[in-house]
Amino acid sequence: MTASRVQYQTSDEVDFVIIGSGAAGGILAKELSTNGFRVVVLEQGPYLHESDFSHDELKILQEDLLTNHPKLQPNTFRKTPDEKAKPQRALVYGRAVGGTSNHFTANFWRFHEIDFIERSKVGPIPGATFSDWPITYADLEPYYTKVEWEVGVSGLAGASPFDPPRSKPYPMPPLPVKSNGVLFERAARKLGLNPFPAPMAILSQPRAGRSACINCGFCLGFGCEVKAKSSSLASMIPIAEKTGRCEIRPNSYVHKIELDARGRAVGAVYFDEKKNVHLQKAKAVIVSANGAETPRLLLLSASKQFPNGLANSSGYVGKNLMLNSGGISLGLFDEQLNDYKGVAVSRILHDFYELDAQKVGFYGGGGLDARFDMTPINFAAGGGLPPDTPRWGKKFKDAIAHNFTRTVEIFSHGTSLPKEENSFSLDPELKDAWGLPALRMTYKDHADDIKLAKWLNEYGLQILDAAGAKKKWTYPIEEQQFAVHLLGTCRMGSDPKSSVIDSDHRTHDVKNVFLCDGSSFVTSGRGQPTMTIEALAFRAADRITALAKRGDINA
Amino acid sequence: MPEHDCLPSAPFDRRTFLTRSAAGFSAAWLTANWPAMVSAATHAHARAASPDPAKFEFFTAAEAAEVEAMSSRIIPTDETPGAKEAGVVYFIDRALVTFASDSQKTYREGLADVNALLSEKFPSVKKFSAASPEQQDAVLEALSNSKPNASSARRNRPNATGQPFFDTLRYHTIAGFLIAPDSDRRGNRDGVGWKVIGRDPEHMFQPPFGILDKDYPGWQPAGVEKK
């Protein structure tokens, strides 16, 4: 299988070098190679396969099989720019071929129309760099459909009265309902709300040589052993490789975009597995390294021409970080629900997608779902038990024995407002295992985000009440210090002074450098960003193809 | 299946569809994955069936007896198996030479602390494993400071290194009790931990999963349910 794959020399000037093989990079690789371009994908992590995945929780929780490694890649955290950042694990992202799409939970809602034009509708918000997108839902709609059909999303069109218009139904029916979905649906209807089957990037039917979900329950944090989860690894990368024009090069850690005297990119400089340095030459560079590593790479690529970092004339590289707000309420039920079986989420609701700021007193909106995504160790050692449970001894054992099959989470997820000071930057002192400046995260939620999270959490408790929970509790809403959704750090916009890329994903400053991943976001949506990252990637591939065919990339 | 691209017209259709797709996907899945699955299962089985090595990789036999006694108070044996039956001490022993090698010192010092606490509280008792369950609990109570479930123990976060001995031992005991039984971590022997929490050891399930989805009539738009 590997023998037939194309391999380029680093001195071969390929059409595109793509940095990152995740949700966006995988799609760009597939689209551009299918469109006839020669592509090299540089992925910092290893090339793992389904046979490398397992249900061993410690591989995930302790050994970082699929994610960035805190010992090799430490980072620092601070709440505000006037503080000195301290070493503290502050983010997780996928670090393997397939990126974060390997281990995500696979909730795949589309953004709604409002997400792209909310600044115009709501007006300015103090303390936030709130802005409209330069594209609309209508621009992205065909690409959402493409994600659903090509990457693979299960769902039921028309089931939510709040859904934006769509040109085509889902290609597959929703996944089987779980007991938590049934109790969520009944309780929500009692409260006059509109629950509906969750759209998930997991196959409910066999498709494109991949099997349907076997309901093993190991989604969040784990790779799917049967290719049912629609990761880039399972869905896009095999097609890219089959073109014979796309090379996926794992263990390739890019740390610089090389420029020529004209200020055009000539390729990407990376460490191979043995820390030898190479330059992969390319006519254009696409960075899809995620909302933390994409800005970091631009900052690491500072030069005489670009002293503040590549493509950073706006000063916005790394800024306006958004994580999505939200909270978790938990409930304990009498019935044996066995929610460890099946995908995490089977029912959600969007009734609170747009809360009325006049009524609630803050900006924001979000979704609620019922889920159970805690694997056994996580459940018993972490946050699965009521807070008054003894931590050890017979009562502890009785609690894990009784509760594991009877616990439900009501998960809420909503908007984060962009703030200029929330950012990823280079730590002035800490270095990673390659001697490069470590990521420094600065984050303090906007006050409205905290109010929203509390509001949604309270509503989660109401749903648990209506569902007949015997006991219910919530995690306290605290200022976030840990990032999973990495959004907004190289935002898209038409004004080069207040954005990093244009609506073609091209950097305003460098004609042949494109950025496409969570960093491109202008607003956070209501959580579940990967669907939109992927729609953007399909669209970016079309735009970039058109520019290349016009000779408008490296002329 | 284009007929399911729109809302199902009646609950019956939906139910029929679910039954059909459940049967369909398992068959298709088996075709696609059976050889790999058989080989994985055989491998796991061979590992599980291999005799438990009596040798410890980190602990001395004496230390192991103490750690086993402590973990047996964290997840005690009663009418159902506890840490002892799950082989948690073997799990911890391997953990300390693999993913938790950073915690070796924590254990060596922690064992000494436990001895100190024991001789302070119960001078006549020579070692933890020889103490009565009540005495053992008193020592562990003092060691743990009896903190309630802290909010810092957030879900989906790794257990940090550099934690106090009791927290480390507690985490390792839980992990050793509940780790996937077919992993090579030497914990959850015979899947007893999963039996205790009611987790079916299979890795492939078909609906219905629990009580409430068993008789679920299928999703219907709001209003249809009102009779």
User: Model confidence over A162-174: pLDDT tens digits?
Assistant: 999 999 999 999 9
How far apart are the C-alpha atoms of A246 and A244, rounded to whole Å? 6
B84, with CB counted inside 10 A (0-12, 13-18, 19+), is middle
How far apart are the C-alpha atoms of A390 and A388, rounded to whole Å? 6
| Percentage of chain B lying above the pLDDT 90 cut | 62
A121, with CB counted inside 10 A (0-12, 13-18, 19+), is exposed
Measured between CA atoms, how close is A53 to chain B, in angstroms? 11
Does position A92 have pLDDT exceeding 80, yes or no? yes
> Facing residues of A483 across strands?
A91
Query: Are B210 and A178 within 8 A, CB to CB?
Result: yes
Task: Tell me the average pLDDT across A218-237.
Answer: 97
Tell me the pairing of strands A265-271 and A277-287. Answer: antiparallel
User: Model confidence over A419-453: pLDDT tens digits?
Assistant: 999 999 999 999 999 999 999 999 999 999 999 99
Contact A414, A364 (CB under 8 A): yes
Token pair 């398992």 in the structure block, residue: B26
Measured between CA atoms, how close is B83 to chain A, in angstroms? 10
Question: C-alpha angle B130/B136/B141, rounded to 5°?
Answer: 160
Alpha helices in A343-489 (DSSP H): 357-360, 376-381, 394-403, 447-466
How far apart are the C-alpha atoms of B151 and A378, rounded to whole Å? 14
More reliable by pLDDT, B172 or B8: B172
- pLDDT, position B53: 54
- Separation in Å, CA A225 to CA A330, B37, B193: 29, 10, 23
Interface probe for B, chosen from A214, A410, A478 (most Cβ of B below 10 Å), is: A214
Which residues of chain A make contact with B26, given a CB cutoff of 8 A? 214
Tokens at A29, concatenated: 């690789």
Residue type present at position A129? T
Q: How many CB atoms lie within 10 A of CB A157?
A: 15
DSSP code, position A71: T
Omega before A142 cis (within 30°)? no
Query: Among residues 445-504 of chain A, which lie with CB inside 8 Å of chain B?
Result: 475-476, 478, 482
Q: How many CB pairs under 8 A join A and B?
A: 233
Using pLDDT thresholds of 50, 70 and 90, give the confidence band for residue A554: confident
Find the farthest-apart pair of alpha carbons in chain B and give their distance in angstroms, rounded.
78
- pLDDT, position B24: 36
Which one, of A198, A147, A112, lies nearest residue A525 by Cα?
A112
How far apart are the C-alpha atoms of A210 and A291, rounded to whole Å? 29
Does position A387 have pLDDT exceeding 60, yes or no? yes
Q: Provide Rg for chain B, Cα atoms.
A: 24
Contact A412, A450 (CB under 8 A): no
Query: Are A220 and B4 within 8 A, CB to CB?
Result: no
Which one, of A547, A539, A537, A546, lies nearest residue A235 by Cα?
A537
Q: Which residues contact B68 (CB under 8 A, 6 or more apart)?
A: B83, B84, B88, B89, B129
More reliable by pLDDT, A12 or B163: A12
Does position A55 have pLDDT exceeding 70, yes or no? yes
Does position B159 have pLDDT exceeding 70, yes or no? no
Does position B5 have pLDDT exceeding 50, yes or no? no
Query: Are A62 and B99 within 8 A, CB to CB?
Result: yes
- Which of A50, A54, A391 is facing B183, going by the closest CB pair? A54
How far apart are the C-alpha atoms of A138 and A469, rounded to whole Å? 41
Interface probe for B, chosen from A215, A329, A330 (most Cβ of B below 10 Å), is: A215
| Percentage of chain A lying above the pLDDT 90 cut | 97
Query: Are B6 and A157 within 8 A, CB to CB?
Result: yes
Which residues of chain B make contact with A392, given a CB cutoff of 8 A? 73-75, 140, 144, 170, 173
Using pLDDT thresholds of 50, 70 and 90, give the confidence band for residue B14: very low
Residue of chain B whose alpha carbon sits nearest to that of A386: B149
Residue of chain A whose alpha carbon sits nearest to that of B40: A51
Interface probe for B, chosen from A397, A405, A474 (most Cβ of B below 10 Å), is: A397
User: Model confidence over B66-84: pLDDT tens digits?
Assistant: 999 999 999 999 999 999 9
How far apart are the C-alpha atoms of A151 and A29, rounded to whole Å? 13
Using pLDDT thresholds of 50, 70 and 90, give the confidence band for residue A177: very high
Cα first-last separation, chain A: 37
3-class DSSP assignment, residue B163: coil
Does position B161 have pLDDT exceeding 70, yes or no? no
